[in-house]
Amino acid sequence: MKRTLVTLCLLASFTALADTQTYLKAAIEQRFYFQDALYPQQHNSDISVFVEPELYYSWNQGTGSINIKPFVRYDSRDSERTHWDLRELVWMQIGDEWEMRAGISKVFWGQTESQHLVDVINQTDFVEAIDGEDKLGQPMVQFSLIKDWGTLSAFALPYFRERTFAGADGRFRSPIAIDTDNPLYESDDEEKNLDWALRYFQYFGDVEIGLSYFDGTNREPDFIPQPGEDGMSLRPYYGQMQQTGLDMLAIAGGTLYKLEAIYRQTTDEDFYALTAGFEHTSVGVLNSPYDIGWLMEYQYDERGEQATSLGQNDVMLGSRIVFNDIDGTEVLIAYVQDLDETSSRSGFIEASSRISNNWKWRVDGWFFSSDTQDEPTYLLRRDDYIQFSLEYYF
Amino acid sequence: MSRMQSIRQVSGLIISLLLLALPVQAQSPEQKGLEIAKERKARDRGWGDSRAEASMILRTASGQQIERKMRMLSLEMQDDGDKGLTIFDQPADVKGTAFLNYSHAIEPDDQWMYLPALKRVKRISSRNKSGPFMGSEFAFEDLSSFEVEKYRYKYLRDDKINSLNSFVVEQTPAYEHSGYTKMIVWIDKEHYRAHKIEYYDRKGSLLKTLTMHDFELYLDKYWRPMKLSMVNNQNRKSTDLITHELQFRTGLDENDFNQSTLRRVR
- Mean local confidence (pLDDT), A45-60: 96
Check: CB of residue A59 under 8 Å from CB of residue A45. Answer: no
Parent domain of A254 = 19-393
Report the complex ipTM.
0.90
In a domain, A259, yes or no: yes
- Mean local confidence (pLDDT), B53-81: 93
Check: CB of residue A53 under 8 Å from CB of residue A22. Answer: yes
Domains: count for chain A: 1
Q: Does B127 touch chain A (CB under 8 A)?
A: yes
CA of B186, closest CA in chain A: separation in Å?
Answer: 27
Q: Does A131 touch chain B (CB under 8 A)?
A: no
Of A341 and A336, the one with more pLDDT:
A336
Which of B110, B132, B260 lies at the smallest CB-CB distance from A144? B260
CA of B36, closest CA in chain A: separation in Å?
Answer: 31
Whether B131 sits inside 8 A of A205 (CB atoms) is no
Other C-beta atoms lying within 10 Å of the C-beta of residue B42:
11
Contacts of B119 in chain A (CB under 8 A): 106-108
Confidence of residue B7 (pLDDT cuts 50, 70, 90): low
Which tens digit of pLDDT belongs to each residue from B36-53? 999 999 999 999 999 999
Does position B16 have pLDDT exceeding 70, yes or no?
A: no
**Rounded to a whole number, what is the distance in angstroms from the first to the last CA of chain A?**
44
Q: Does B131 touch chain A (CB under 8 A)?
A: yes
Whether A326 sits inside 8 A of B58 (CB atoms) is yes
Rounded to whole angstroms, what are the CA distances from A59 to A5, A17, A140, B198, B266? 21, 6, 22, 45, 12
Q: Which residues contact B83 (CB under 8 A, 6 or more apart)?
A: B74, B75, B77, B100, B101, B102, B103, B254, B257
Residue at A230: amino acid letter: D
In a domain, A92, yes or no: yes
Confidence of residue A116 (pLDDT cuts 50, 70, 90): very high
Check: CB of residue B169 under 8 Å from CB of residue B33. Answer: yes
Which tens digit of pLDDT belongs to each residue from B106-140? 888 899 999 999 999 999 886 667 788 888 999 98
A209: nearest Cα among A244, A243, A247, A245 = A247
Does position B55 have pLDDT exceeding 90, yes or no?
A: yes
- Mean local confidence (pLDDT), A358-376: 90
Which of B118, B128, B258 lies at the smallest CB-CB distance from A281? B128
- Average per-residue pLDDT for chain B: 90
**Which CATH class name applies to B40-264?**
mainly beta
**Domain regions of chain B by residue span:** 40-264
Check: CB of residue B238 under 8 Å from CB of residue B64. Answer: no
Whether A284 sits inside 8 A of B127 (CB atoms) is no
Which tens digit of pLDDT belongs to each residue from B185-222? 999 999 999 999 999 998 999 999 999 999 999 999 99
Does position B23 have pLDDT exceeding 60, yes or no?
A: no
pLDDT at B8 (0 to 100):
62
Which of B93, B110, B121 lies at the smallest CB-CB distance from A205? B110
Other C-beta atoms lying within 10 Å of the C-beta of residue B61:
10
Does position B18 have pLDDT exceeding 80, yes or no?
A: no
Which of A96, A99, A256 lies at the smallest CB-CB distance from B123? A256
Q: Which residues contact B151 (CB under 8 A, 6 or more apart)?
A: B37, B171, B172, B173, B174, B183
What percent of chain B is predicted at pLDDT more than 90?
73
In a domain, A2, yes or no: no
Contacts of A325 in chain B (CB under 8 A): 135
Whether B91 sits inside 8 A of A328 (CB atoms) is yes
Q: Please, is B64 exposed, middle or buried when counting C-beta atoms within 10 Å of its C-beta (0-12, 13-18, 19+)? A: exposed
Whether B91 sits inside 8 A of A208 (CB atoms) is no
- Mean local confidence (pLDDT), A74-86: 97
Alpha-carbon span A156 to A142, nearest angstrom: 7
Residue in chain B nearest A354 by alpha carbon: B93
Residue in chain A nearest B138 by alpha carbon: A324
DSSP H or E stretch at residue B261: helix B259-264
Does position A198 have pLDDT exceeding 80, yes or no?
A: yes
Chain A stretch 65-104, residues whose beta carbon is closer than 8 A to a beta carbon of chain B: 65, 92, 94, 96-97, 99
Q: Does B130 touch chain A (CB under 8 A)?
A: yes
Which tens digit of pLDDT belongs to each residue from A255-312? 999 999 999 999 999 999 999 999 998 887 777 778 899 999 999 999 876 666 667 8
What percent of chain A is predicted at pLDDT more than 90?
78
pLDDT at A150 (0 to 100):
95
Alpha-carbon span A238 to A183, nearest angstrom: 7
Check: CB of residue A49 under 8 Å from CB of residue A28. Answer: yes
Whether B110 sits inside 8 A of A19 (CB atoms) is no
Does position A73 have pLDDT exceeding 90, yes or no?
A: yes
pLDDT at B266 (0 to 100):
87
pLDDT at B1 (0 to 100):
46
For residue A364, give the CATH number of its domain.
2.40.160.100
Q: Does A295 touch chain B (CB under 8 A)?
A: no
- Mean local confidence (pLDDT), A201-209: 94
pLDDT at B3 (0 to 100):
58
Which of A108, A208, A326 lies at the smallest CB-CB distance from B66? A326
Contacts of A254 in chain B (CB under 8 A): 125, 127-128, 177
The CA-based angle A291-A297-A302, given to 5 degrees, is 170
Contacts of B60 in chain A (CB under 8 A): 326
* Best B89, B125, B130 residue to mutate vs chain A (most A CBs within 10 Å): B125
Residue in chain A nearest B260 by alpha carbon: A146
Which of B110, B132, B258 lies at the smallest CB-CB distance from A289? B132
- In this complex, how many residue pairs, one in chain A and one in chain B, have their CB atoms less than 8 Å apart? 91
Buried b (16+ CB within 10 A) or exposed e, A204-233: eeeebbbbbebbbbbbbbbbeeeeeeeeeb
Q: Does B256 touch chain A (CB under 8 A)?
A: no
Which tens digit of pLDDT belongs to each residue from A134-186? 999 999 999 999 999 999 999 999 999 999 999 999 999 988 989 999 999 99
Query: What's the DSSP call for residue A162?
Result: P
Check: CB of residue B195 under 8 Å from CB of residue B162. Answer: yes
What percent of chain A is predicted at pLDDT more than 70?
94
- Mean local confidence (pLDDT), A188-205: 96
Residue in chain B nearest A55 by alpha carbon: B266
Whether A324 sits inside 8 A of B128 (CB atoms) is no
- Average per-residue pLDDT for chain A: 92
pLDDT at A202 (0 to 100):
96
Specify the length of chain A in residues.
394
Does position B76 have pLDDT exceeding 90, yes or no?
A: yes
Helix (H, G, I), strand (E, B) or coil at A229: coil
Does position B9 have pLDDT exceeding 70, yes or no?
A: no
Does position A119 have pLDDT exceeding 70, yes or no?
A: yes
Does position B88 have pLDDT exceeding 70, yes or no?
A: yes
In a domain, A4, yes or no: no
Dihedral pair phi/psi, residue B9, rounded to 5°: -60, -45
Confidence of residue B232 (pLDDT cuts 50, 70, 90): very high
Alpha-carbon span B53 to B69, nearest angstrom: 8
pLDDT at B10 (0 to 100):
65
pLDDT at A4 (0 to 100):
57
Rounded to whole angstroms, what are the CA distances from B161 to B80, B142, B187, B211, B225? 31, 21, 8, 10, 15
Whether A97 sits inside 8 A of B255 (CB atoms) is yes
